[in-house]
Amino acid sequence: MCNYIVVSGGVISGVGKGVTTASIGKILKEYGYKVTAVKIDPYINYDAGTLRPTEHGEVWVTDDGGEIDQDLGNYERFLDEDIPKKNCLTTGQIYKTVIDKERGGEYLGKTVQFIPHITDEIKKRIKDAADNFDFCLVEIGGTIGDFENIPFLFAVKSLEREIGKKNLIHVLVTYLPTPPHIQEMKTKPTQQAIRMLSENGIFPDFIICRSKKALDNVRKKKIETYVNIGAEHVISEPDIDTIYRIPLDLEKENFGLKILKKFDLKPKKKPDFEEWGRLVDKIVNPAKKIKIAIVGKYINIGDYELTDSYLSINEALKHSGAGLDVGIEIKWIDSKIFEKDKNELKILKNYRGIIIPGGFGSSGVEGKIMAIEFARKNDIPFLGLCYGLQLAVIEFARNVCGMEGANTTEVDERVKYPVIDILPTQKKLMEENRYGATMRLGEYAAILKDDSQVLRLYEETNRLKEDNERLSELKKDDGQSFRLGILENKKIILERHRHRYEVNPEYISKIEEKGLVFSGYHIRKDKQKLMEFIELPNHKFFIGTQGHPEFKSRLTKPAPLFYGFVKACCK
Ligand code: GLN
């Protein structure tokens, strides 16, 4: 039977409940256990696909095509496991399922109610995700006291009753503020969070105290008496230099062994944090530092910049930096400044490399194209991600192939040279307004060209080999076989996607004639080829991908293209 660790948050949101959950998972995995994690999002949206990233952070994409809350990204990065979309539950999904069942007559005339029907559906989904694992972490989004949390708290309470207290524990991640005008760390909000949790019949087994500085004994004691748990169950988690240090810090308090003891379990193996610890040190104290620019459309909420919308790119750069012993300072540049004044482009000379991230719509597009042209002409390393690839193709078509005004039909439907377009099969679905169905979502196989730079990078980072092991797994799953398409007997890799438009097949040979290499492609079951990678020979580094390699990057396994890009930036 699976053991459950339910993680909820107190006081305020944004204190790092997600990375704490991920860190607990990492620790238990190090002790030799099979671990997975579930995220509960109490909003009504069915998934994160329609959420604006500036409001809710990045949309995370899973292998099986889920558009999910970014916390799942942290789980994957820390656990080094691919987590499927079913591991993200929203209120919208739960209610939709229950109402669909009711309409289908499945409740046989019964009154359908919050308890037990909604809570049963929640429990069913949690248990389903936990199947075949030793531990399942369940993170409840939001903060204790939110109305929207209540169904989920009821459900985990009911799960606890069903499987027994010895198979489920509660962890409360809370925050202890130190108001600047009194300079004293306050426990009161935490006490209130504990009280609110107990109103739902839930008593935390561990309290993780987030704060600016480590908790002193006076405050530990206060919390201990208030909750009536042993001091060893109050864990201090002060602010740190990098999130990747959290598992190491929690282990300093023997958190892993304490959790195992609660479940009456013993370590299955001796944990080995050496490699992880070495990389954490490289993140914090790299041998050298470089600056790179990410040119996108931005990202201001009131007075705050929300770089969370590109979280995975940040993390992927960190992973590659740690592997190469270089610290990367990222500067976010709003592409619109180039549209207003061309002279601004020269600021790009101050950076060792330029990334154009994914995006949608027409805003800021011309500025991004200008930045790509600047990178190409000045031999500055360039990495284009999804929209970044598409815009690089547009730039090349316009400025090298003489296709004046070339564009994507996403920006200009009647353009003379639609080098990026919706393919005919997708157009049909669009006309029927089935937008979701027109997206290419999740993992797809790409065939890499012999002798390409891209192939070399996938070989150098060992990903080619790993992806081939995964490929044989994927072949067994009939329902997912469309992700493979037609596999020629060649070098295959797998990356995640989230886009609607493609390089227009009609222009490929004209563009290739002028020197841009399409170094990888997917072949759909209907034999349609979709371009996956571009590269320019004779350039320090000029590579674009239709996928989102940032989603598969892990601290111990940097994504090949990011690795190659950072390496080129260092030269
Ligand atoms: N807007 C482009 C498309 O839909 C690119 C999407 C992206 O960058 N994720 O094809």
Domains of the chain: 3-40+118-276 (3.40.50.300), 286-421+501-570 (3.40.50.880)
**Nearest residue by C-alpha to atom 8 in ligand 1:** 358
Return d(Cα 543, Cα 356) in angstroms, integer.
Answer: 11
- Cα(386) to ligand 1 centroid in Å equals 6
The secondary structure of residue 85, as a DSSP letter, is G
CB atoms inside a 10 Å sphere around CB 387: 25
Cβ-in-10-Å burial (0-12, 13-18, 19+) of 304 comes to: exposed
- Cα(352) to ligand 1 centroid in Å equals 25
Return d(Cα 40, Cα 71) in angstroms, integer.
Answer: 10
Buried b (16+ CB within 10 A) or exposed e, 186-207: bbeebbebbebbeebebebbbb
Closest atom, ligand 1, to C-alpha of 439: 4
Catalytic residue among 386, 401, 522, 535: 386
Closest atom, ligand 1, to C-alpha of 498: 9
**Nearest residue by C-alpha to atom 1 in ligand 1:** 360
- Whether 358 is in the pocket of ligand 1, judged by its Cβ within 6 Å, is yes
Crossing angle (nearest 10°) for helices 311-324 and 71-79: 20
pLDDT at 86: 94
* 447, 529 contact by CB (below 8 A): no
pLDDT at 478: 82
* 135, 35 contact by CB (below 8 A): yes
- Cα(368) to ligand 1 centroid in Å equals 14
pLDDT at 497: 96
- Work out whether the CA dihedral 181, 183, 187, 190 comes out positive or negative: positive
Q: Are strands 529-535 and 542-545 parallel, antiparallel or unpaired?
A: antiparallel
Instruction: Output phi, psi for 225, to 5 deg.
Output: -70, -35
> Catalytic site residue 548?
yes
> Catalytic site residue 499?
no
**Nearest residue by C-alpha to atom 6 in ligand 1:** 499
- Whether 386 is in the pocket of ligand 1, judged by its Cβ within 6 Å, is yes
| pTM for this entry | 0.92
Shortest CA distance to 144 belongs to which of 103, 192, 179, 98?
Answer: 192
- Whether 411 is in the pocket of ligand 1, judged by its Cβ within 6 Å, is no
Cα angle 524, 526, 529; round to 5: 45
* 32, 268 contact by CB (below 8 A): yes
Low pLDDT (below 50) residues in the chain: 301, 303-304
Pocket test for ligand 1, best of 363, 372, 390 (most atoms within 8 A of CB): 390
- Cα(358) to ligand 1 centroid in Å equals 6
Shortest CA distance to 502 belongs to which of 552, 446, 457?
Answer: 446
- Cα(524) to ligand 1 centroid in Å equals 19
Q: Are strands 168-176 and 206-211 parallel, antiparallel or unpaired?
A: parallel
Shortest CA distance to 122 belongs to which of 30, 21, 241, 41?
Answer: 41
Closest atom, ligand 1, to C-alpha of 501: 10
Instruction: Output phi, psi for 329, to 5 deg.
Output: -95, 120
pLDDT at 556: 95
Pocket test for ligand 1, best of 393, 429, 501, 550 (most atoms within 8 A of CB): 501
pLDDT at 53: 66
